Amino acid sequence: MSLSPSNLQYAKTDEWLDPATGKIGISDYAQEQLSDIVFMEITVSVGDTVSAGDVIASVESVKAASEVLAPASGKVVAVNEDLTGAPETINGEPYTSWFIQLEGATSADLMDAAAYEAYCQERSH
């Protein structure tokens, strides 16, 4: 597993939030668990307001299907439509393959990179 970028915050459900930009994606750990991603769909639109824990996307791989949850609350100001046409990008670049961008993203229940790495290590044993 690669090191999780220290500028991001992480949810126990394996989504990341960039507090500087409001962008959200899934972690390297999550994409490794899913394996080869073959389909993804973003289920929210620009202008929607989401709460932490809301489903914002679904991702399907050769191994499993998974819902992507919002790690924070806020207003959707951008949706990365490029990912729907190239979902495999998530496997190679999980920390630049953002799903949505929130304005005013807030969450009190996220971990920093060190805590998230420790959490992932606990689960893989």
Return the SS3 of 59: strand
pLDDT at 106: 84
pLDDT at 3: 80
β-pair type (73-79, 55-61): unpaired
Considering the entire predicted model, what is its pTM?
A: 0.94
Mean pLDDT (10-residue bins), the chain, 125 residues: 85 97 97 95 98 97 94 97 94 96 91 96 84
Residue spans of the domains in the chain: they are: 9-105+113-123
Tokens of 13: 């459900």
Distance between CA atoms of 36 and 51, rounded to whole angstroms? 29
pLDDT at 103: 96
pLDDT at 61: 95
CATH number, span 9-105+113-123: 2.40.50.100
Residue 56: closest CA among 38, 37, 36, 76: 76
